[in-house]
Structures are given as structure tokens and as C-alpha cells.
Amino acid sequence: MNSFQNAQRGALASIPMIIGGIPFGLLFGSLAAANDLSIWFAVAMSSIVFAGSAQFVALGLIAADAPLWVIILTTFVVNLRHILYAADLLRYVRHLPLKLRLLMGFGLIDETYAAVRPMYDMGSADKSNGHQVYIGSFLSFYLMWNITTIMGVLAGEFIPGLSEWGLEFAMVATFIGIVTPYLKSTPYWGAFAVAVVCSVVFRDMPNQMGLIVATLLAVATGYLLDTKASNKKAKEPARV
């Protein structure tokens, strides 16, 4: 398979999430317009910052006349989870030239991580072609995000009832489709259960801190159960 076909596979794997992202892009553009922000600002946010949830939070803070440092600090907190993605992907990118890693860092969003990371586990991406799959995923999402931002601004005002269409459910279904193949052993089930309970319990924490806390607790749970299981295995007498 050549690099274009690999990029195509990445884009294909991202389609459900691209559809799920459309209302958010439209909403971002229309909210920016509703707050009397220029089209240049909206486009600069989507094309340069490229950070979905942080962009929405920033709009709210701008509307509330928050100072610059608050906006930047909040952006930092909202995007913290991306450190986990980067750490998890290190093993698949460390052999790549710096230029590619710089580009991939720019495209490290929830959707691309969600679409591409499991492909390494399932064998449909590896060290030789994974970056091409990754770039195909993030470029197709980037294109959608910027086009819908512009459309949202041009539509001028809040698109009526857009948030009630439920297109975002595509993302929920996709993430479930990604998560379920992992649920084969106790440690993964443990991480899953803790993530469900904690994300719901902590959902009202500000700036998506609840998401980060729930994720860390779930990862710790999975790790501890895993360590316990392998210790147990080590203690069992070896069968020869």
C-alpha cells in the first residue's frame, strides 16, 4: 500500500467522528459571529489553535471579559489530556524524522488519537505506515473543522436547533466501537468501569478537570489490576 492509500485509510476510519464534529464546527463559527467576533478570529482559532473544546471555552471567557492569562491557563488545563496521548504514542513515533513529529504534534486531537491508536493494536497500522494513516485522519478532520467554522460564521447566527439534532451521538457510538474490542480482561474492564463512574461523578468539575481525574484514576486501576494479575501468574508454579 502506498502512502496515499494509508492516508485514505486514516481518513476513512475518522468519518464517523468527522460527521460527529460537524455540528461543533458550525456551532463554533456561529457562536463566534453571535459574539461579534470577526471571521478572521474564528478562522485563526480553528486553523492555528485547532483545539475543539478549548475554542468553545475561550469564546465563553472572551464573552465574560476574562483576562488573557486566564484564557491561556484555562486552555492549558483543558488540553492537558493530550500529554497522555503523546506519551502513549511515543513508541510509535520515536523512529520518525523530527519534521514529521512536529506535524503530527499539531494534529494530536481526540479524534485522531481515537481513530489511529487502536489501529496499531489491531494490526492495521504499524511503525512503517502509522504516520501516514495518522496524517490522513487529522488532515481530513482539519479540513472539516475549518470549513464548518467558516460556514458557521457565514450563517451569521445560531443555527436553529442544531445542538438538538444529536449528530454528536456519532462520536459516542464510534468511541464505543473503539473501546469494546479492548474489553477482554479484568484490568481493561476495571479501567472501563472506573472511567464510567468517575467521569459521571466528576462531570461538574470546571475546565474538564473531571475528565482528566477520571482518566488518571481509570489508568491507575487498569495498571494495578494488571500488575496484580501478572504477580499472581509469576507465583504459580511453572508447568513444564
Partner 1 sequence: MSNVELLLIVVGMFLVTYGIRVTLFVGANRAEMPEWLDKALKFVPVSVLTAIIAPMALTNDNGLAVSLLNPWFVGALAALITGLVFKRQLLTISIGVVVFFLMKMVTGN
Q: Which of 8, 34, 82, 162 binds partner 1 (CB under 8 A)?
A: 82
56 lines the binding site for partner 1 (CB under 8 A): no
The answer to whether residue 52 forms part of the interface with partner 1 (CB under 8 A) is: no
Taking CB under 8 A as the criterion, the residue among 2, 64, 94, 233 binding partner 1 is 94
* Out of 2, 64, 99, 102, the residue judged to bind partner 1 by CB under 8 A: 102
Binding mask 25-44 for partner 1 (x = CB under 8 A): ------------xx--x--x
Decide: is 137 part of the binding site for partner 1 (CB under 8 A): no
Question: If DSSP states are collapsed to H, E and C, what string results for the chain?
Answer: CCHHHHHHHHHHHHHHHHHHHHHHHHHHHHHHHHCCCCHHHHHHHHHHHCCHHHHHHHHHHHHCCCCHHHHHHHHHHHCCHHHHHHHHHHHHHCCCCHHHHHHHHHCCCHHHHHHHHHHHHHCCCCCCCHHHHHHHHHHHHHHHHHHHHHHHHHCCCCCCCHHHCCCCHHHHHHHHHHHHHHCCCHHHHHHHHHHHHHHHHCCCCHHHHHHHHHHHHHHHHHHHHHHHHHHHHHHCCCCC
Nearer of residues 176 and 240 to partner 1, judged by Cβ: 176
Q: Which residues between 146 and 205 bind partner 1 (CB under 8 A)? A: 166, 168-183, 187-188, 191-192, 194-196, 198-200, 203
Which of residues 5 and 230 has its CB atom nearest to partner 1 in the complex? Answer: 230
Give the nearer residue to partner 1 in terms of CB position, either 156 or 166.
166
Scanning residues 205 to 224, which ones bind partner 1 (CB under 8 A)? 210-211, 214-215, 218-223
